[in-house]
Amino acid sequence: MTKKRQLLLAIAIFVWVVACKQITEHVTPKAPNDDEILDGPVEGLSSVEKQQFLAGDVAFNGEVFFSGNGLGPYFVATSCGSCHAGDGKGHPFTTLTRFGQSDTLGNKYLNLGGPQLQNRAISGFDPEWIPVGASFSQFTPPANTGLGFLEALTDAQILMNADPNDLDGDGISGRPNYVNAPSYFLPQPYHQQRGGKYIGRFGKKAAAIDLLHQTANAYQQDMGITSDFNPYEPAMNGMAYPYFDNVPDPEVPATTVHNVVFYLRTLKAPIQRSQSDADVLAGKQLFMNIKCGSCHIPQWTTPSTNINALSGKTFFPYTDLLLHDMGSGLDDGYTEGTALTSEWRTPPLWGLGLSMNSQGRNYFLMHDGRATSIRQAIELHGGEAENSKGQFMNLSESDKAKLIKFLESL
């Protein structure tokens, strides 16, 4: 090539690069608004905290288990992110089954593989089955957002709303689930013990005390992954000893588990959309008027914690973290801890309007995903919520629509 040609070529390349930069912004996909997605950290993390968040993110969303790195032998799904897509609610495909406990006296099927059914198995193994006579329930994965705020609350704050004997006579009692703590549980000053048991906050029956408890169980029970916290593979139906796979235990190190817990603690709280929309505001008013907010308590404030970004923050989860008798329609005959079979923990409603983005463009609400719309979810309320539901049913169509519009904005 002559000098002139080389120059021409160089100019052409230069122009191309500049042009690319100019038009790139217009022809590449935009980031969704922060209020349209559930993932992402809380504001105000330090640089070290951000790194731990990212490490947890990788373990939660990126680490996929297979037989080569410890999956199973019995399992339900292959990664945390498979069940909690985009940190949102799950789908019937990853709904899990628990069995074997029908009263507050404990699970009678622990030696037959209870409480969790591992309905899938790696090649060469047969999955578990539900033993004859065992009652069971199905749990659809909940969203994982804002959990650090809920974990930071003190037991005293939670107990303030408990009214086990319905002294105020509003038909709504609400009580905590006192559960046995796992051996690795480190009580914090804000935890209150009662007869050796602690208040559970996480899970459909509020059977997990803190996020470490929930996470360690998830590794073992949902994926068949052993850790320092739960060093054994999940028990198989009727086997005195668990089967082992060929991967040395623990299959995940404690640091990974801690990183994931940190990730869960520092996932941001969902951001409400259309907050000042007149219908949304009216809907919120109706929500409070008909006592939905007695269980789905809108607002909380954290005390100071060891993560600055979570300290002294007011947040809006719409839950009381307490158990409520929801009536016979939602009573599956299965329970955990000291909850009755008809009792369920009030689920947070934040992020509800984004459920479709993680549930495959559908709604699968309530503990087992049986409700395919928000309206249906409300209509399934019974027991302590019967009165509140009745008032909802008596609302005019337009008021119902406003209330639902409010819920969709969460």
Task: Show the binding pattern over residues 294-333: x = contacts ligand HEC (CB under 6 A), - = does not.
Answer: xxx---------------------------x-x---x---
State how beta strands 116-117 and 136-139 pair. Answer: unpaired
To another protein, the closest distance from the beta carbon of 358 in angstroms equals: 6
To another protein, the closest distance from the beta carbon of 267 in angstroms equals: 17
Stretch binding ligand HEC (CB under 6 A), from 13-21, 23-31, 135-143, 152-160: 135-143
Contact in structure between 116 and 234 (CB atoms under 8 Å):
yes
142: preceding bond cis by omega (within 30 degrees):
no
Tally of CA atoms within 13 A in the half-sphere of 306 that contains its CB: 7
Examine residue 365 and tell whether it contacts ligand HEC (CB under 6 A): yes
Contact in structure between 60 and 263 (CB atoms under 8 Å):
yes
DSSP 271: P
Calpha distance 384→345 (Å, rounded): 12
Query: Within positions 216 to 245, which residues make up the interface with ligand HEC, using CB under 6 A?
Result: 218-219, 222-223
Q: Among candidates 344, 324, 333, 329, which has minimal Cα distance to 102?
A: 333
Calpha distance 194→192 (Å, rounded): 7
Complex with ligand HEC: residue 37 or 172, whichever CB lies closer: 172
Binding partner at 326 among ligand HEC, another protein, none, C-beta below 5 to 8 Å by kind: ligand HEC
Complex with ligand HEC: residue 25 or 397, whichever CB lies closer: 397
To ligand HEC, the closest distance from the beta carbon of 406 in angstroms equals: 9
Examine residue 70 and tell whether it contacts ligand HEC (CB under 6 A): no
CA 240 to chain centre: 32
Binding partner at 362 among another protein, ligand HEC, none, C-beta below 5 to 8 Å by kind: another protein
Contact in structure between 320 and 161 (CB atoms under 8 Å):
yes
To ligand HEC, the closest distance from the beta carbon of 346 in angstroms equals: 4
Stretch binding ligand HEC (CB under 6 A), from 21-29, 90-98, 101-109, 269-277: 90-98
Please measure the distance between the N-terminal and C-terminal CA atoms of the chain and give it in whole angstroms: 64
DSSP three-state, residue 203: coil
Complex with ligand HEC: residue 132 or 274, whichever CB lies closer: 274
Residue-wise over 8-30: b if at least 16 C-beta within 10 A, else e? Answer: eeeeeeeeeeeeeeeeeeeeeee
Binding site for ligand HEC (CB under 6 A): 60, 76-77, 80, 82-84, 90, 94, 96, 139, 141-142, 144, 147, 172, 202-204, 207, 211, 214-215, 218-219, 222-223, 260, 264, 287, 290-292, 294-296, 324, 326, 330, 344, 346-347, 349, 352, 365-367, 374, 377-378, 381, 384-385, 388-389, 392, 407
